[in-house]
């Protein structure tokens, strides 16, 4: 490419035929080395402008993962759906068992099966949904009160969930519910710690 072409200012007017032929020769020669289009006016490879940018932009000081409040909605919905599925399967089993014992057939048997499925499905869904609401509420309150989100919040929230869920069933069952919540949350935290150690170094069993 000649120096006169590089010294010319940028213009929207069509280039002369001689320069078009020169540019076409330059472009065809450059295409052998690169498949990206080359600008005849700026004389650079457009691939250099394709810089990698972050997929998400976070404000300064913001956490790059969702907090307990954002996760609460998905946890509650998932718990309700899982409870409905488990309760529905249990209702099918109990419905077949009850109708076979009573020798029911036809529409009566179908109605009894639907009643068992709806009753046990809704009951289990309500139970798991209530547990998810209590756990999420305790976790969110602990996160905002302590100012951080760690395994301590998980253990305390699990224990408080068990205590609150069985708080109306007497002191003994309330303590039993708290112990069950403490055990499940502790096992979950130990599992998370084992995963963290496994990703940072060689796998270690606790």
- Output the pLDDT for position 9: 53
For residue 188, is pLDDT > 50?
yes
Q: Is residue 122 situated within a structural domain?
A: yes
pLDDT digits (tens, 9 = 90+) for 136-160: 999 999 988 888 888 888 999 999 9
Q: Is residue 2 situated within a structural domain?
A: no
Q: SS3 of 167, please?
A: coil
- Output the pLDDT for position 31: 47
pTM for the model: 0.62
Q: Is residue 60 situated within a structural domain?
A: no
**Same-domain pairing of 92 and 169:** yes
Domain of 32 in residue numbering reads as: 9-49
H/E stretch holding 75: helix 68-101
Q: Is residue 139 situated within a structural domain?
A: yes
**Same-domain pairing of 92 and 27:** no
**Same-domain pairing of 40 and 85:** no
Q: Is residue 107 situated within a structural domain?
A: yes
Spatial distance between the Cα atoms of 176 and 183, rounded to a whole number of angstroms: 11
pLDDT digits (tens, 9 = 90+) for 9-36: 555 555 544 444 444 554 454 444 445 5
Q: Residue 125: CB partners within 8 Å, gap ≥ 6? A: 80, 81, 83, 84, 87
Q: Bigger pLDDT: 128 or 195?
A: 128
R_g of the chain computed on alpha carbons = 33
For residue 108, is pLDDT > 50?
yes
Q: Is residue 1 situated within a structural domain?
A: no
Backbone angles phi, psi at 47, to 5 degrees: -65, -25
**45-49, 77-81, 153-157: which has the minimum mean pLDDT?**
45-49
Average model confidence (pLDDT) for the chain? Answer: 77
What's the total number of domains in the chain?
2
**Same-domain pairing of 168 and 81:** yes
């Amino acid at each position: 490419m000649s120096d006169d072409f590089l010294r010319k200012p940028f213009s929207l007017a069509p280039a002369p035929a001689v320069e078009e032929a020169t540019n076409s020769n330059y472009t065809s020669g450059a295409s052998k080395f690169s498949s990206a289009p080359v600008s005849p006016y700026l004389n650079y490879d457009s691939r250099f402008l394709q810089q990698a940018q972050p997929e998400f932009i976070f404000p300064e000081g913001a956490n790059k993962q969702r907090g307990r409040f954002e996760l609460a909605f998905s946890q509650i919905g998932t718990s309700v759906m899982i409870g409905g599925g488990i309760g529905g399967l249990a209702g099918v089993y109990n419905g077949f068992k009850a109708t076979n014992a009573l020798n029911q057939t036809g529409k009566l048997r179908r109605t009894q099966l639907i009643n068992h499925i709806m009753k046990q499905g809704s009951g289990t869904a309500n139970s798991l949904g209530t547990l998810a609401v209590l756990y999420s509420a305790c976790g969110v309150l602990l996160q905002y009160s302590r100012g951080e989100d760690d395994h301590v919040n998980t253990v305390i929230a699990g224990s408080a969930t068990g205590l609150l869920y069985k708080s109306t069933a007497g002191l003994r069952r309330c303590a039993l519910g708290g112990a069950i919540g403490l055990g499940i949350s502790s096992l979950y935290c130990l599992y998370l710690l084992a995963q963290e150690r496994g990703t940072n170094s060689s796998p270690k069993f606790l």
